[in-house]
Amino acid sequence: MFRLDELVAQLGGALVGDAGVEIRRVATLEQAGEGDLAFLANRKYLPQLQRSAASAVIVAPDARDLLVDRPRIVTPDPYLYFARVAQLFSPLPVPQPGVHPQAAVACAVPPTVEIGPGASIEAGVELGDGVVVGAGCHIGRGTRIGQGTRLAPRVTLYHDCVIGENCILHSGAVIGADGFGFAREKSGRWVKIPQVGRVVIGNEVEIGANTTIDRGVLDDTVIGDGCKLDNQIQIAHNVRIGQYTAIAGCVGIAGSTRIGARCMIGGQAGIIGHLSICDDVVISAGTLVSKSITRPGVYTASLPVQSHAEWVRNFAHLRHLDALATRVRALEHPHDGRNGRNPD
């Protein structure tokens, strides 16, 4: 429970209206009721603002006077403010220091560290203060984890990796498995190339459930500070990602590709190997990136969904686009004996 003036004292913003209103949680405009603080992040939700039963709202300066019967916190970015209020109401759980008797731990454990049942930690692992190792996690020899980092249950860290401070790794994440590297004999048989690089993850990185990040072949795979990775992402060996890049679920990034800072990559996008994507690039959902990108901006490649019947009608032509273009050229140059087959 926070009073509005307590929130503003901690988080800033201008308070308009009754400063003493007590807030018990944050909510969307639609769900909010008595005691709830809602937010207007986008003017398309104005109708919901009018109908909302929220006790108070977070609004941008241009929406300051749209709802005059309720107290408001005025701030340039209501969504960001909402995030900070939500953190006040739902802080991360405090670690419960101690090693569960059903854990198998072969390294030194600082007294502030929490290790859950069934966790196994090999020799030479270094754990920073306040680290939480969830139930059933495995940490391979020589891996280092910075202070304040939390592993949810059933995370796997292979040997000799480095995880920064204040990271969150969700269940099923696998960090440091072998990259996919083989040389081929004439017979077709594959010879494994040992993967001796590491995975090095910066500070404040969040990694989603069942996401995998492979170790490098010779050099390292690197995830920059403040990157956020959603679930089921695959990062191949020797990928390097700059700081604050966010990647949505089911994305695959192939080997040795470099991605800049502050990029945003949509769900199910793919980036092939050995490319370079510059800073501040946005890749739309489902887009396969097959060449390097050197200028910031939004990039897209996806098909419009159609009824199956329309799709059958239209997409049959995709196999004959070249022929169609040739026919258009022939129509444009009717007296060209080569029937327009010459390049433009």
The yes or no reply on residue 202 touching a copy of itself (CB under 8 A) is no
Binding span for a copy of itself by CB under 8 A among 12-20, 49-57, 58-66, 182-190: 182-190
Per CB under 8 A, contacts with a copy of itself among 146-165 are 152-154, 156, 158
| 278 counts as binding a copy of itself under rule CB under 8 A | no
Cα dist from 154 to 137, 158, 310, whole Å:
4, 13, 46
Least Å distance between CB 255 and a copy of itself?
9
10 in contact with a copy of itself (CB under 8 A): no
- Cβ proximity to a copy of itself: between 68 and 321 the closer is 321
* Shortest spacing between CB 27 and a copy of itself, in angstroms: 6
Helical packing angle, 4-11 and 78-89, nearest 10°:
110
Rounded to 5 degrees, what angle do the CA atoms 288, 169, 236 make? 35
Q: Is 50 in the site for a copy of itself (CB under 8 A)?
A: no
| Contact criterion met (CB below 8 Å) for 199 and 213 | yes
Binding flag, residue 286, a copy of itself (CB under 8 A): yes
- The reply on whether position 123 binds a copy of itself by CB under 8 A is no
Query: Based on CB atoms, which residue is closest to a copy of itself, 50 or 290?
Result: 290
Per rule CB under 8 A, is residue 84 in the interface with a copy of itself? yes
How many whole angstroms separate alpha carbon 118 and alpha carbon 274? 39
Question: Is residue 298 a contact residue for a copy of itself (CB under 8 A)?
Answer: yes
237 tagged catalytic: yes
Residue in the block written with tokens 């209103």: 21
Give residues with Cβ within 8 angstroms of 214, minimum separation 6.
Answer: 176, 177, 178, 179, 180, 195, 199, 221, 235, 236, 237
Q: Which of 159, 237, 317, 335 is catalytic?
A: 237
Paired sense of beta strands 2-3 and 174-177, if any? unpaired
3-state SS of 308-331 is HHHHHHHHHHHHHHHHHHHHHHHH
C-beta of 20 vs 117, nearer to a copy of itself: 117
d(CA 36, CA 29): 9
Minimum distance from residue 68 beta carbon to a copy of itself (Å): 26
Cβ neighbourhood burial of 296 (10 Å; 0-12, 13-18, 19+): middle
Binding pattern for the stretch 301-320 against a copy of itself, x by CB under 8 A and - elsewhere: xxxxxxxx-xxxxxxxxxxx
- Mapping DSSP to helix (H, G, I), strand (E, B) and coil, where does residue 252 land? strand
Q: Is 226 in the site for a copy of itself (CB under 8 A)?
A: yes
> Rounded to the nearest whole angstrom, what is the least distance from the CB of residue 238 to a copy of itself in the complex?
10
> Which residue lies nearer to a copy of itself by CB, 68 or 186?
186
User: Which range in 43-51, 107-115, 124-132, 324-332 contacts a copy of itself by CB under 8 A?
Assistant: 324-332
Cite the active site residues.
237
